[in-house]
Chain A
């Protein structure tokens, strides 16, 4: 994974192989159709890579992939989704060294902070994974109607969700945004716009080898403002999950979302931007992206 300048010392004659960071759409890593890029630098200003600058057409393609994957993802058993979450955590655990290093080198984390972010990320994956077959039990119910009917309500996934990832915590932020969305069976197009986008694509590689079906998570690196109006207005997107949204972004998303009555949820940024806090995870974060379905059936012979 990750580009690492440390290994190629001055004495070495071997030229390091740099990685091309692409987008992650439908389980593949295509380049942006626009051919545009964003130069990413480390916190010290050293070159990391030319990162894809996703366009509205990339977004459109990602939504197509997310829609295609949604039915079968939601159709999997919650037990299976739970296991896939656990698998993602396993994959991340086995690669945690390189992510810790990358957080330090690229984002300027201290070692302690990098370890803490990896701990929190892996643990959060497992935590949400456990909810896959429990949130329905906690938030669903049998309703004692006053007639001879069996009546129950259960939450199920809304559909295709676009998420604006938090702008801090380049690794943990991704999980914080996507886990509560996909655990119920939604698929997601994750928009990553901060200084260390490369980590999102490194993470996509972890997803890619975690039994997670292609298209469930799609990651676009780029600029929020460039795709914002398309997100709100896309008629095949069912909901928007937005972190760190500015008042102007909230307004624009809200107005556009009305075109197809999208569900829009703005998450609060945790105190002191501490994304490792338990404040940044909750089963109640699953609820903005589910629909309650109530079924009636007579009881008699």
Chain B
């Protein structure tokens, strides 16, 4: 012992002195079929037209998948209607509950399988699908199972009634989890379901269909149809659908809102966001830096509630950015199936192109770009974690949802300025506040126009905790007792 540091450069070196060896999650046990169709009336059916679903990390085709046309969607809605009229709406709540509990358990039993397929089909790191997506999906079914026979206690003084057939369209960023968020409350409330997974990530929903079959869920209670936007439109526009639930872009959400205008369909929308993560100078800095990383690089930034705008108090901006850059330098980017990967593959080529386009605009508009030194795989869709500094509210990258691992850093001087900047967006999904001072934190929280405020944390989810937005981030809540409102007539 006793060597003195001889470094003249006062910086940390995150190098290769001791590198983690590859730690691939084995996937040999995964038994994927070559082709997947739809799940209608308790059976797997295929239709003629197909598309390919690929692994975005390798660009290899995983399976071909049928496309549902209007007639197929109609079949699914009819099956759902029949199941609603004859079985599900008549079934005592406690029996519905047990089906949901059974599904939750089976998701837990097949958790590793589901996690691996989720990662292969969508590109997210196995650590996240294993530790976040799949456990939360099971927990969601477990939570809403308990509501199925207690609905009369959910809304004091009111009588509640199921709606009928729920038509649901879900996105590609959390394919299984979003299916759980949509299906569990719908079924608990006594509705039947026709749901369309995203076209880039259809596989875990089909594994979920297998679970429904194994669980003995009565035919037609959940119907899954695959396809693109047209298939989704067929669900949304079907006359016999009573409720439409959509999670996705604000642009498509508006189209859907127009489409159901003038009908009696109940609508809930979970749309985009441009969340502000506000760091005050009295914050626990190291944890805040961690929160920034978690806020924007979790799931490659493919998160509607991502903390994509960092608002940092001017007097600590330099310190925070230094620490942030160090932290980003330790992120491991690459094979999503590697257990050590922190940032996986971008979900699709289209999405990668869109991220690149917005990053180019950021540079063209004069923001300062930082990316850590990292080698991206040759094949597949990857994008390095990116931080833009010198961003002002008028920059495109401060306004548009990028939906990728790209952070825009703005500064503020006073709490009022932070609030004003945070609210300076048509969106209103989520914000983070980092401060050690409770009075300040809760005052700021009360002023933010968004559905979720994470105080000294970010990107946390729980089935008991309602999730949803203000303004153009949509309306309605998923999760918690409020999540039932979307699937019940309350009077």
Interface residues of A, Cβ cutoff 8 Å to B: 138, 141, 143-147, 149, 151, 153, 156, 158, 238, 247-248, 250-255, 257-261, 263, 282-284, 287, 291-298
Contacts and interface: CB of A to CB of B under 8 A. Distances in A.
Contact of B426 (A144, A260, A283): A260
A292 B466 contact: yes
Interface stretch (B57-65, B190-198, B474-482): B474-482
Contacts of A291: 428, 451, 470, 475
Given A253-B261, A259-B254, A283-B157, A295 B474 contact: no
Interface in B445-481: 445-446, 450-457, 460, 462, 464-468, 470-475, 477, 480-481
B361 interface: no
Given A294-B451, A296-B452, A298-B456, 4 more contacts: A250-B262, A258-B258, A282-B158, A298-B457
Most chain B CB atoms below 10 A, which of A153, A248, A250: A153
Contacts of A263: 475
Contact of B462 (A151, A253, A257): A151
Contacts of B157: 283
A57 to B, nearest CB: 24
A291 B466 CA distance: 11
Nearest to B473: A261
Contacts of B472: 260-261
B155 interface: yes
A294 B261 contact: no
15 contacts: A141-B480, A145-B460, A238-B471, A247-B262, A251-B262, A255-B261, A258-B254, A260-B472, A261-B253, A261-B254, A261-B269, A292-B466, A294-B466, A296-B457, A296-B460
A254 B258 contact: yes
Interface size class of B (residues with CB under 8 A): 35 or more
Given A149-B460, A261-B271, A295 B455 contact: yes
Contacts of B213: none
B261 A146 contact: no
B194 to A, nearest CB: 22
Interface in B203-262: 250, 253-255, 257-258, 260-262
A144 B464 contact: yes
A297 B457 contact: yes
Contacts of B373: none
Contacts of B254: 258-259, 261
B452 A294 contact: yes
Contacts of B462: 143, 145-147, 151
A250 to B, nearest CB: 5
B466 A261 contact: no
Contacts of A293: 445, 450-453
Contacts of A282: 158, 491
B490 interface: yes
B34 to A, nearest CB: 39
A296 B465 contact: yes
B139 to A, nearest CB: 7
A287 B441 CA distance: 26
Contacts of A147: 460, 462
Contacts of B2: none
Given A146-B139, A284-B155, A153 B261 contact: no
A274 B260 CA distance: 30
Given A253-B261, A292-B466, A295-B455, A284 B460 contact: no
B156 interface: yes
A269 to B, nearest CB: 14
Contacts of A251: 261-262
A151 B450 CA distance: 15
